[in-house]
Amino acid sequence: MPRRRGDRRHRRAARTPPAGRSRVTQRDERVLALAGLAQALAQVRRIADTGQADAAVLETAIDSVFQIDADSPAAVYGGEQSLRPGLLLLRDHFRNLSRDELLPRLALAVLQLERRFSRDPMAQRVHAGIVGLGPMAARLGTAHPDVLAALGNLYAGTVSHLRPRVLVQGNPHYLGQAQVVAEVRAVLLAALRSAVLWRQLGGSLWDFILHRRALLEAVERRLH
């Protein structure tokens, strides 16, 4: 799976921050990955319900899949400004103001899936598949239907076989259309990419569940 440059260093440093780098800064970086996860999953929900995505948010999500050697968490998403929708979703969630009760459940499911995925040899197959699709994405654009279909097929042939499966609810009319299903799977792959980055930056499932106040403070710092 694509990773930000230096992810091994970040895994070693997760428990003991290096000199000059505070825990606040670490958590501020982590919430960017969490925002990427949230806004990708919000698009999954939107596509499943309406058959349509927000074009800009979709492009940010799919672009992140192909960011193999980004210099920073923000660079994975093309800049922090691209993550504002996800940061707002996180703020509402941590304030208990979320309008979509299924979105936090999806986030937990993807974070659980990531733990299994990262330990499975399948991760290398997914990484190779994404690298192989890079030239097509560069030529057509990451949000081109052919690219989304190819990413959806990659997800279906690999990640969808892992447990726990991520179950997406929506309008049966749209979920019965092959193009919509492929797009949902492609964006789920983007959500998984953000979950991998979250872990590489020292985040964990328990951090998401138990450290709500600290994460809310980090989100609010990013929004101001």
User: Residue 214 and residue 220: Cα distance in Å, rounded?
Assistant: 10
Q: Is the dihedral of CA 59, 61, 66, 71 positive or negative?
A: positive
Which pLDDT belongs to residue 126? 98
Share of the chain above pLDDT 70, in %: 89
User: Residue 51 and residue 44: Cα distance in Å, rounded?
Assistant: 10
Give me the torsion for CA of 131, 201, 216, 208, rounded to 10°.
Answer: 90
pLDDT in tens, 14-45: 333 444 345 668 889 999 999 999 999 999 99
Better-predicted residue by pLDDT, 5 or 102: 102
Yes or no: say if 34 and 215 are a contact pair by the CB < 8 Å rule: yes
- Asked if residue 74 has pLDDT above 50, the reply is yes
- CATH numbers and ranges of domains, the chain: 7-223 (1.10.3890.10)
Q: What is the CA radius of gyration of the chain?
A: 16
Q: Which residue has the tokens 């930056």?
A: 201
Better-predicted residue by pLDDT, 113 or 99: 113
- Asked if residue 11 has pLDDT above 50, the reply is no
User: Average per-residue pLDDT in the chain?
Assistant: 91
Specify burial of residue 136 (Cβ count, 10 A radius: 0-12, 13-18, 19+): middle
The predicted model scores a pTM of: 0.89
Yes or no: say if 4 and 70 are a contact pair by the CB < 8 Å rule: yes
Yes or no: say if 219 and 84 are a contact pair by the CB < 8 Å rule: no
pLDDT in tens, 114-159: 999 999 999 999 999 999 999 999 999 999 999 999 999 999 999 9
| 4 three-state secondary structure | coil
* Integer angstrom CA distances of residue 222 from 29, 38, 66, 210, 217: 9, 15, 24, 20, 9
**Amino acid occupying residue 140:** L
Which pLDDT belongs to residue 1? 63
Percent helix, strand and coil across the chain, each rounded to 5? 70, 0, 30
